[in-house]
Structure 1
C-alpha cells in the first residue's frame, strides 16, 4: 500500500483538485481508497494570467518562468494542505496546468505543455513528485491524451456491461470499456470528444459582464430555447468527424471559436439564455455524435465525471439524446466523480513508481505501452 497525492487542474482552470488516496495492488489489479479530496482555487490574478496565456497572449520568457513557478507553488501548497490532518503521503502525481496542446499531424509529433514543474514541487513538499506525464506517450507517437483510459479500465470496467466513462471538464473525453472478457483490453477506445465546459464558462463570463464564471446547475441555459439549426451547423466542424485517436483543447475550442459562435447566432436573434441552451446542446450532441460515429456499438451505460456532472441541464440533455442508455455518474459505482481526474494522476504516479505502463496505445495512438512521468526526488537534508 502506498499513500499518494494526485494533483490536477484542467482546461477550465477552476483551481487545483487534490486527492489523497491509498493504492493497493499491481498494474490493472489495483484498489484505491480516497482519504481526502478538495479543490483549491487559484488566486484570481494567477487564474487570469493562465487563461490569457491559454488564449494565446504573448508573454516573455521571464513571465513564462514566473508563471511556471507560481503554478508550482500553488500545486505544492495544495499537496501540503490536503494531507495536513492525515497521515502523510510518500508520493505526488502532478499533472500540472496545460497551457498549450497540439495534436500530431502527418509530419509532426504532438506537443503538450504543462506548467508547474515537478522538481520544484518535490523541493517544496519534500516528497517524491512525478510530473510531465504526457511526454513519453507523445515521444512514442501518441496524442499524449487522453491518459485516463488505463485507469478507467482498472477501476471502472465491468464483467458483463459495456460502459462509456465520459469526463466533462473544460474539454470532454471518453473511455469506451467493453465488457471485461475476450481480449477486452485491446478493444478499449478513448479520445477527446470536443468542448465540455470551456465554451460555456467563457460565454457565461461574457454574457454576465464578468459577474459569473459558470452556469450553476445549468439553470441559465435551462431557461432558454435550443436553436437546433445552429447546433446542426456547429456539428459540421471537422473535429467531430475526425476518427480517433484524437485530442483537442482551448487552442481549437476556445475564445476564437466562441466568438465565431456568437457571430453565427446573430441572425437567429437569440437571448442570452437561448445562446447558452444552444451551446450546452453542442456539448451534449457532440458527445453523442462521437459515440454514434466511432464506437463499435452504443454502450449499455454512460458514467459521467468531472465538473460537468454538476450541470444538471447538460446531464438531462445527454440522457434525452442517449434515449434508453442510462446516464449516471461514477459516484454511483464507487469512484468520486468530482475528483476522478486527480485520483487518476495519483494512480499514474503509483504505476510509474512500480514500473508499470500508464498509457493505452488504443486510446492515444502511441506505438507501444510506455511508463509515463518524470520522477523528481527532493534533495537530501
Structure 2
C-alpha cells in the first residue's frame, strides 16, 4: 500500500481539489481507497491573476515567476492540509494549473503540441518534504500526442466492467470523455477518449458576466432551469469546427473562453433571450456537444454513462443529458464507488504512483501519441 496525494485544478480555476488515497496493486490491477477529499479555493487575487494569464493578457517574466510560485505554494498548502489527522503520504501527484494549451492538430505536420502547467513540482516537494511528480503531459506531447486527456488509462483501471461498455464523462471547465468497452479480449486498445468541448466554462463565465461578478456559477443549474433553450441557436453553435474534428483531440479556455462567450452573446442578441434563456441555451450546448460527439465518434453507444467533476452537480445539465441520451442511464461515478467530486485528483495520484512504479500512464488511442510512456517528472526533497 502507498499513500498518495493527488492535486488538481482545472480550467474552471475555482480551487485545488486534493485527494488523499491509499493505492494497492500494480499496473491496471489497482484498488484505491479515498481517505480524504477537499477543495481549497484559490485566494481571490491568485485566481484573478491565473484567469488573466489564461486570457492572454501580457505579464512580465517577473510577474509570471511570482504567479508560478504562488500556485506552487497554494498546492503545497493543500497537500499539507489534506493530511491533517491522517497518516502522512509518501508521494504527491500534482497536475498544476494549466495556463496555456495548444494541442497538435492534423495539419501541424512536423510540429509538436504545447501545454503549460504552472506550480513547480520541485517547490511543492521542498515545501511539503514529500516526493512530488508533476508535468504529466510533456512526455505524451513529445511522442506526438495531445497530452490530453490523461485520465482514460486510470478510468480503465478503476471503472471497467466485464459485460457492459461505459462512458465516463468528466464535466469540469472543459468536458472530456473516456469510452471503455466491456473488459474482454483486446478491450484496452479499443478505449477512446477526447475533450468533448465546453463543460462549465461558458456557463460560469456567463454567470459572472450576467451578475457583474457577484456570482461565479449557477448552483444546481437552477437559474438555467428556469429558462427555455433556443435550439436554433444551439444548432448554429454546434457548427463550430472543433465539434467536427475526429479524435484524438483536446481543447481549453484558448477556444472556449471569454472571446467565445462574447461571440455567443453577440449571436444571441437578435433572439431576444432572457438571462435564464441564455444560460439554458449555453447548458444545452454543453449537453448537445457531449451527446453528438458520442454519436459521431464512438464505435457504438455505451450501455451506461457515469458523470464526474463539478458539472455533475448541475442538476439541470444532468437532466438534459439524460433526455438527449434517451434510454441510456446517466448517473455519477459515486454509484460505482469512485467519488465524482475528486475523481480527477484521484487520477493524478494514480498517475504519480504509476510513474514511481514504472508503469505507463497514457493511452495512445486517446491522446494520439506514438507509444505508451512514463508520465511526469519526479522531484525528491533534499
Q: TM-score, normalising length from structure 2?
A: 0.99
Query: What is residue 213 of structure 2 aligned with on the other side?
Result: 210
CA distance in 2, matches of 1:248, 1:110: 11
Q: Does 1:298 align with 2:298?
A: no
Equivalent-residue separation in structure 2 for 1:258 and 1:10 (angstroms): 18
1:307-318 to 2 correspondences below 5 Å: 307-318=310-321
Q: What is the rounded CA distance, in whole Å, between the counterparts of 1:199 and 1:279 in structure 2? A: 7
Look up the match of 1:127: 130
Q: Deviations over 1:156-205 (max 9, x none)?
A: 00000000000000000000000000200000000000000000000000
What is the match of residue 62 of structure 2?
62
Computed over aligned residues only, the root mean square deviation of the Cα atoms, in angstroms, reads 0.4
1:240 and 1:293 map into 2 onto residues whose CA distance is 9
The residue number in structure 2 matching 1:149 is 152
- 2:363 and 2:375 map into 1 onto residues whose CA distance is 11
Whole-Å Cα distance in 2 between the matches of residues 209 and 244 of structure 1? 37
Q: Are 2:197 and 1:194 aligned?
A: yes
Provide the residue aligned with 2:120 in structure 1.
117
Please give the alpha-carbon distance, in whole angstroms, between the structure 1 residues aligned to 2:126 and 2:183.
41
Q: Structure 1, unaligned stretches of length 5 or more?
A: none
What does 1:176-195 align with in structure 2 at a 5 Å threshold? 176-195=179-198
Q: Is 1:249 aligned to 2:252, yes or no?
A: yes
- 1:99 corresponding residue in structure 2: 99
Aligned pair partner of 1:266 in 259, 269, 290? 269
SS in 1 for 2:157: helix
Secondary structure at 1:48 match in 2: helix
* Alpha-carbon distance in 2 for matches of 1:6, 1:15: 14
Q: In structure 2, what is the equivalent of residue 347 of structure 1? A: 350
CA distance in 1, matches of 2:150, 2:157: 13
1:169 aligns with 2:172: yes
CA distance in 2 between counterparts of 1:104 and 1:227 reads 33
- 1:373: how far off? 0.3
Distance in 1, matches of 2:126 and 2:244, equals: 45
Q: Give the C-alpha shift of residue 209 in structure 1.
A: 1.1
What residue number does 1:26 align with? 26
C-alpha separation in 1, matches of 2:56 and 2:162: 45
Structure 2 gaps of 5+ residues are none
2:101 alignment partner, SS class: strand
CA shift at 1:260, angstroms?
0.2
Give 2:370's match in structure 1, choosing from 362, 367, 371: 367
Q: TM-score, normalised by structure 1?
A: 0.99
Alignment partner of 2:229: what SS? coil
What secondary structure, in the 3-state scheme, does the structure 2 residue paired with 1:166 have?
Answer: strand
Within a 5 Å distance, the mapping from 1:11-22 to structure 2 comes to 11-22=11-22
- CA shift at 1:50, angstroms? 0.4
Q: C-alpha deviations, 1:197-229, integer Å up to 9, x for none?
A: 000000000001111000000000000011001
The answer to whether 1:280 aligns with 2:283 is: yes
In structure 2, distance between residues paired with 1:263 and 1:41 = 32
Query: What does residue 332 of structure 2 align with?
Result: 329
Q: Which residue of 1 is the match for residue 82 of structure 2?
A: 82
